[in-house]
Structure 1
């Protein structure tokens, strides 16, 4: 393994949480999404954990591994089969995730933290200021798109071998655009989904997909 110069190699175990809540989270993600998007969501969790380790947040009172798992693994439910384009995909996904956690008996305050982290995961400059869970969720997702890749370089191959990419960028873009095209509510002006839909219609490809070619991980 290689690590960023000056950064000690990570020794963090990369298994997934267990228990009834984690099982419900993984089940809904697996049953409603493609394997490509599911793998992206799990990688986002693993990368988010590594960010927490690198930045000394594992012992922070606000750090909750189970809630981080819930937020990252369900962050794209709004682009899956359970979503119908009733709202922008981040919000519809947050609502779906909240319903799963509520059904599992998770407290309202924790459900709200996960809802916020999912709803804000495409909102740069906002998620980072809404607490550790929202910050780590956005960072984990961002790393899977190649942002700050050097932070996890020593564990990236291990994670990608376990959860292959499978053309994730194109697959996820397809799913978001498909739902954005269903209603104005799913693609309000200036939203992330609306911009992807506009680019696809005008150019046949989005900047997100173009960027994948230069991403540290590829598509």
Structure 2
């Protein structure tokens, strides 16, 4: 493994990063946890590809935290009464506040998580929000043209996919079926519920991911 690859695969080792990673591994399904970590790695690759400067254009520690925690709303503790993105942003903010992060840092992570399913909005709020959304999208096989096959294989060897898209949508729709207020009209979750209720009962996101570069 090259030095560059080792750098990429080495996750942040700050106390808050370690605790966030432990929280995700302990409370999320393996498929969702792996997706969250891969999203962080892809976001870093995207930042480098775009020439975004860590410490100047974005905070690399906050990028890791926002990516790793972006689906924490799909856990038992995150299953509240809002869209899963917003519930996740709230839970992440509570966790990071308890870890002693500044209000500005917490707010930046909250925004990136809350907007990660909002195309055209996340990209205009901050570099952090844009990178988080892009890194997550890359894990679904979107805009990965600049990632070489060796790098992609290393990421997936460390964090296997485990039918990620199907698992995520199972979790999102299960929450919404139990709490209809989590699927307001025109939301992503409402779309998932509609597609799952209509033959062949497979969402377009699952199909696109399965047919995409990384598979499901």
Q: CA deviation at 1:59?
A: 4.0
Match of 1:211 among 191, 208, 211: 208
Aligned residue number for residue 53 of structure 1: 48
Distance in 2, matches of 1:114 and 1:122, equals 14
Match of 1:74 among 69, 73, 77: 69
Paired residues for 1:63-212 under 5 Å:
63-154=58-149, 155-203=151-199, 204-212=201-209
Q: CA deviation at 1:202?
A: 2.0
Contiguous gaps of at least 5 residues in structure 1: 2-8
Contiguous gaps of at least 5 residues in structure 2: none
- Cα 1:153–1:198 shift into 2, 3 Å: same
Task: Give the number of the structure whose residues are more often helix, by fraction.
Answer: 2
Q: CA deviation at 1:212?
A: 2.0
Aligned residue number for residue 5 of structure 1: none
Cα-Cα RMSD: 1.7
Question: Does structure 2 retain, via aligned residues, the 8 Å contact 1:17–1:66?
Answer: yes
Question: Does structure 2 retain, via aligned residues, the 8 Å contact 1:85–1:182?
Answer: no
Aligned residue number for residue 4 of structure 1: none
Distance in 2, matches of 1:117 and 1:214, equals 27
Give the TM-score normalised by the residue count of structure 2: 0.93
